[in-house]
Amino acid sequence: MTEQDVSIDELSIACRLPSFFHAVFCFSGVLLLISLGLFVWQASLHTLIFLALIWVSIQTRGLGYSFVAIRRMMDAGITKALPAIYIFLLIGMVIASFMQSGTIASLLYYGLDWLNPSIFLVVGFVLCGLMSIATGTSWGTVGTVGIVLIGIGDAMSIPLPLVAGAIVSGATFGDKLSPISDTTNLAAMSAGTSLYRHIGSMLYTSMPTFIIVLIIFTIWGMQYDRNALPENYINEIRDALADAYQLDLWVTLLPLLLMLGLSIQRYAAEVSMSCSILLAMLIAVVYQGRDGVDVINALWINLPETTGIESIDTLLGRGGIYSMAWTLLLSILALALGGIMHHAGFLRVLLLQIISRIQRISTLIFTTIAAGFLGNIAMGEAYISIILNCQLFKGAYQEKELDPAILSRSVEEGSTLTTGLIPWTTAGTFYAATLGVPTLDYAGYALLNLLNPLVSIVMAILGIGLLQKMR
């Protein structure tokens, strides 16, 4: 039997765990390299992740692991996130097919009528929240409704990072609370609580945050009250869209409604997206009169439209598998890095040392949330972070006789909420590529993602919320 035929655990038998200081040294090296590269050198993020991968591999080799074992760790990190990679490819095709079918154009055409600049941020935030709750996917929401809102916000001269922040806030809020969301179900299952107990626990911290964010976006939106588009410009956009597409909502919205309906029926995201893509392609050919070969090719790389309005042409030319290449390649590198950090034990050793020193409940909740954020930084994917942190912290919550729903809530607030704020995570790269706004540009405006963990920590310090003993 060769090294290729044995598991990672078997390959690890003769290897040692890193010490706490070694784990800190390794993790600090990754953070320092990426921070200097992004903010000082303005280097390519892909290259920085590759260099971080080499750094962590050298540290892991020093623990006694062979090259084959290290590569298996990388493979395992990527394999665990394969569902997210499949979604990457499908979302690219969903966006392209919705452009071809006129779905996005119709939403834009009619959206120009009722989106007042002063309430635009609030409406966008709430709309994305409702869409994400219904579909269970923040990515699907950002890739459909989010693109429309970016287009309208751009036309109204509202700063795009602010618009993207409202979109990401709403999409994350809905995804976090949806009973058909994969992260919601994963957190409940990993923590050992029921799905609806988990959702009920999150409502205690999510609803106050939602209200705070709603108020802030309302205040911010008031300063754009004078940004209403001139009537002649609105008519110009609508005329250009009407010339390029048939815009009957009963037809063009069918792909979106199908995806929504299948999601509510608890079909897998891959199934609901694939069906909506096929329906959108059919509408593009039969109803919009587009060439079938052009529609098929658009799923690979969509091309700008020719409405005569540059911003609209660029918007309607988004989507396709090729458009996700930058995001996908970065995610694969980050997931490989996360696989080594996880399986070599660097993150586990780091967290266990911290957990052993925790005395207060509020400190435990703060540490759980911070660990989720660190897990996303290290492993590039919320799924892995959720599972790992539930495993690591479960004993501490049981020791303090806390309801498992508090664990699942805290893990989600650290992992699900922060993943979209980090440039190299699957969510952060996807949002940036889809909305056309760099992750670090919109991160400061993704208020729900930023404030929800803080609200949870404050509530824990004050002893309010779901801080109840198990019965």
Tens digits of per-residue pLDDT, 382-432? Answer: 887 888 888 888 888 888 888 899 999 999 999 999 999 999 898 999 999
- Give the domain extent around 150: 82-324
Scored b (16 or more CB within 10 A) or e, 264-295 reads eeebebeebbbbbbebbbbbbbebbebeeeeb
Does some domain include residue 9? no
- Is residue 5 domain-resident? no
Instruction: Give mean pLDDT, residues 111-134.
Output: 84
User: CA 361, CA 366: separation in Å to the nearest integer?
Assistant: 9
Query: Is pLDDT above 90 for 121?
Result: yes
**Do residues 154 and 70 share a domain?**
no
> Among 273, 300, 324, which residue terminates a domain?
324
**Is 441 found in the same domain as 339?**
yes
DSSP string over 50-61: HHHHHHHHHHHH
DSSP state of 241: H
Whether 373 and 316 share a structural domain: no
3-state SS, one letter per residue, for 291-304: CHHHHHHHCCCCCC
The tokens of 108 are what?
């834009």
Residue 89 lies in a domain: yes
Strand, coil or helix: what is 471?
Answer: coil
pLDDT in tens, 136-174: 788 888 988 898 889 888 888 899 999 999 999 999 998
Query: Does residue 227 sit in helix, strand or coil?
Result: helix
The residue assigned the tokens 């108020």 is: 215
Residue in this structure with the two tokens 């394999």, named with its chain if needed: 79
470 within domain boundaries: no
Distance CA 29, CA 10 (A): 28
Q: In this structure, what are the phi and psi dihedrals at residue 469, rounded to the nearest 5 degrees? A: -75, 150
3-state helix, strand, coil in the chain (%, to 5): 75, 0, 20
Work out the mean pLDDT of the chain and round it to a whole number.
Answer: 87
Confidence class for position 9, pLDDT limits 50, 70, 90: low
Which pLDDT belongs to residue 93?
Answer: 92
Across 233-237, 353-357, 441-445, the highest mean pLDDT is recorded for 441-445
pLDDT tens per residue across span 195-230: 888 988 999 999 999 999 999 999 999 888 877 766
- Asked if residue 454 and residue 339 are part of one domain, the reply reads yes
Q: Are residues 391 and 259 in the same domain?
A: no
Question: d(Cα 6, Cα 449) in Å, to the nearest integer?
Answer: 41
CA dist 64 → 67, 130, 285, 316, 335 (Å): 10, 50, 59, 52, 22
| Residue 2 is assigned to a structural domain of this protein | no
Share of the chain above pLDDT 70, in %: 94
> If you write DSSP's letter for every residue of 411-462 in order, what string do you get?
HHHHHTTTGGGSTTSHHHHHHHHHHTS-HHHHGGG-HHHHHHHHHHHHHHHH
Q: Are 282 and 365 part of one and the same domain?
A: no
The answer on 136 and 125 residing in a single domain is yes
Give the chain's length: 471
The pLDDT of residue 471 is 44
Q: Which of 301, 324, 347 corresponds to the end of one domain?
A: 324
Q: How far is CA 27 from the centre of its chain?
A: 23
CA pair distance 68, 74, nearest whole angstrom:
10
Q: How many domains does the chain have?
A: 2
Q: Residue 193 has what pLDDT?
A: 87
State the maximum Cα–Cα separation within the chain, in Å, rounded to a whole number.
74
Shared domain check, 305 and 160: yes
User: Does 254 score more than 70 pLDDT?
Assistant: yes
Separation of CA 101 from chain center: 26
Which of 284, 305, 324 corresponds to the end of one domain? 324
- Same-domain status, 257 and 136: yes
Contact 176, 206 (CB under 8 A): yes
Co-location of 266 and 352 in the same domain: no
